[in-house]
Amino acid sequence: MSGARVNDADVIVVGAGPAGSATAWFLASQGVDVLLLDRAVFPRDKICSEYLSPQASRILEAMGALDKVEAAGAARLAGMMVRAPSGLSFRGRFAGAHRFRGFRDDGLALRRTILDSILLAQARAAGARVQEEARVVDVTRDDAGRASGVVVAEADGRRTSLGARLIVGADGLRSVVSRRLGLARRSRWPSRIALVSHHSGVAGMGDVGEMHVDREGYFGLAPVGGGVINVALVVPVSRAKDIAGAREEFFEEWIDDRPHLRERFAGARRVTPVRATGPFASAVRRAWAPGAAVVGDAADFFDPFTGEGIYAALRGGELLSSFVLESLAGPARSANAPLAAYDGARRAEFGGKWRLERLVGVAVAFPRMMNRAVRVLSRRQDLADLFVGAAGDFVPPREVLRLSNLGLLLAPGR
- Domains assigned to the chain: 9-74+110-187+281-352 (3.50.50.60), 77-108+366-410 (no CATH), 192-277 (3.30.9.100)
Strands 75-77 and 107-109: antiparallel
Averaged pLDDT for residues 385-403: 91
Helix (H) or strand (E) holding 358, with range, is helix 336-365
Supply the pLDDT for residue 412: 61
Q: Is 121 exposed, middle or buried (0-12, 13-18, 19+ CB in 10 A)?
A: middle
Mean pLDDT of the chain: 92
Residue 4 has pLDDT above 50, yes or no: no
With bands split at pLDDT 50, 70 and 90, how would you rate the model's confidence at 403?
low
Cross-strand partners of 150: 139, 162
Q: How many CB atoms lie within 10 A of CB 95?
A: 16
What is the reported pLDDT for 2?
40
pTM summary value? 0.94
pLDDT recorded at residue 384: 95
pLDDT at position 330 over 50: yes
- The pLDDT of 61-86, averaged and rounded, is 97
- Which SS3 state, helix, strand or coil, does residue 80 take? strand
Q: pLDDT tens-digit profile of 108-120?
A: 999 999 999 999 9
pLDDT confidence of residue 160:
94
Name the helix (H) or strand (E) containing 294: strand 292-294
Q: Pick the range with the lowest mean pLDDT from 84-93, 99-108, 290-299, 307-316.
A: 307-316
Report whether 393 contacts 357 (CB < 8 A).
no
Say which range, 127-131, 179-183, 278-282, 316-320, has the weakest mean pLDDT.
Answer: 278-282
Q: Residue 389: which pLDDT band, with cuts at 50, 70 and 90?
A: very high
Q: What is the pLDDT of residue 173?
A: 86
- CA 348, CA 40: separation in Å to the nearest integer? 33
Q: What is the pLDDT of residue 410?
A: 65
Beta bridge partners of 222: 230
Most confident of 40-54, 313-327, 345-359: 313-327
What is the maximum span of the chain, computed from C-alpha positions, in angstroms?
A: 69
Looking at the predicted structure, is the pLDDT value of residue 186 above 70?
no
Does the structure show a pLDDT above 80 at 278? no
Pairwise CA distance, residues 120 & 262, whole Å: 38
- 73 conformational bin, left if phi > 0, alpha if psi -120 to 50, beta if neither: left
Contact 395, 386 (CB under 8 A): yes
Non-local (6+) Cβ contacts of 301 within 8 A are: 173, 280, 281, 282, 283, 309
Is pLDDT of 273 > 50? yes
Higher pLDDT, 407 or 191: 191
CA distances from 217 to 89, 137, 187, 362 (A): 16, 34, 18, 12
- Cβ pair 304, 194 in contact under 8 A: yes
Of 61-65, 349-353, 366-370, which one has max mean pLDDT?
61-65
Q: Which of these, 301, 311, 199, 321, lies nearest to 255 by C-alpha position?
A: 199
CB 382 within 8 A of CB 336: no
C-alpha 391/C-alpha 267 separation (Å) is 31
Q: Is 50 exceeded by the pLDDT of residue 3?
A: no
The pLDDT score that the predictor gives to residue 307 is: 64
Choose among 187, 223, 219, 189: nearest CA to 203: 223
Beta bridge partners of 127: none
Query: Cβ(163)–Cβ(6) under 8 Å?
Result: yes
CA distance 93 to 78: 6
* Average confidence (pLDDT) over 204-213: 95
Could you give the count of Cα atoms lying within 13 Å of 233 in the half-sphere of its Cβ?
Answer: 25
Q: What is the pLDDT of residue 6?
A: 62
* Per-residue model confidence as pLDDT tens digits over 31-66: 999 999 999 999 999 988 899 999 999 999 999 999
Closest CA to 369 of 380, 353, 358: 358
Strand, helix or coil at 63? Answer: coil
What pLDDT, on the 0 to 100 scale, is given for residue 187? 63
Q: What are the residues facing 197 on neighbouring strands?
A: 231
Confidence of residue 241 (pLDDT cuts 50, 70, 90): confident
